[in-house]
Amino acid sequence: MNNKFPALRPRRLRKSHSMRALFQETEISLNDFVLPIFVEEDTSEFAEIPTMPGVLRIPESRLAHEIERYARAGIRSVMTFGISHHMDATGSDTWNENGLVARMTRICKNTVPEMIVMSDTCFCEYTTHGHCGVLHDHGVDNDATLLNLGRQAVAAAAAGADFIAPSAAADGQVQAIRYALDEAGFTDTSIMAYSTKLASSLYGPFREAGGSVLQGDRKEYQMNPMNRREAVRESLLDENEGADVLMVKPAGTYLDVISDIRAASRLPLAAYQVSGEYAMIKFTARAGAIDERKVVRETLGAIKRAGADIILSYFAMDIAENGVGY
């Protein structure tokens, strides 16, 4: 009889690289990623985003070249965000069949037809006030915004978008968009809902990237970050309204919410590693405090392990060009 202790030694399965690889539970591949991109109209120059090192605003005239570059690297899906020079009170350019939303989509699909194009469906980058819908009495008019979301969704679908991705945080937005798409004949166009979108402090760099003119905040319509049960409820409401894919945004500080929604729903689940998460890793690595590639792999692994099937991340091109452990 062997009286040596401990008898149970988990380290036996970690003693070599091959052994660790054999028993690794969570895998990350390029198939898991969506690359968010910023496209600016009426300019010919790439623009650096100081708070997001390595991320550039793409001039619309160079978008086709960039999409080809992404495809060669192995990127299979992009989320498009427009930097508009044609703003108004309602963001009406977004439902113009020749507006920036439609043009971005057409360029992507005409250049690389197999690229999955997800059209972010909102108004904050297209309105003079920077809010995500129609303003009325100093607040966002939810139901008037729904009508415009439907218009924008149809314009994007007509241009070839594979996914409509409503991020306006309007109650009933998925149902309104699904109705508008179906009425216009786009029954096969999918909806990836920003179904649990928190009023996070981690969006700051994105707002610089998108040229946000917002004064104030969006707490009236985005979710309270302190509410875990409500976070699940929000996603289940969007599932009931006809969403094809759910999403949690941000990702890294809401792993519990990702896990909760994964347990509550059988729909595919996306998570958005947002600009603030990206910036924290980049700047901390630049300071020499962490190893960027190891932290990227670890944070993405945590998001996947929590239950996300799809990850939207600004690191996607780094991973495509250099591997998950780049």
Active site residues: 197, 249
Strand partners, 218: none
Rounded distance, CA 145 to CA 173, Å? 9
Residue 50, SS3?
coil
Q: How far is CA 166 from the centre of its chain?
A: 10
93-97: which pairs have CB atoms within 8 A and are 24 or more residues apart? Answer: 93/126, 94/121, 94/123, 94/126, 94/148, 94/151, 94/152, 94/155, 95/148, 95/151, 95/152, 95/154, 95/155, 96/155, 97/155, 97/158, 97/159
User: Are 125 and 82 spatial neighbours (Cβ–Cβ below 8 Å)?
Assistant: yes
Please, how many CA atoms are within 13 Å of residue 304, restricted to the half-sphere of its CB? 20
Q: Would you call 53 exposed, middle or buried from its count of C-beta atoms within 10 A (0-12, 13-18, 19+)?
A: middle
Bond preceding residue 250 cis, omega within 30 of 0: yes
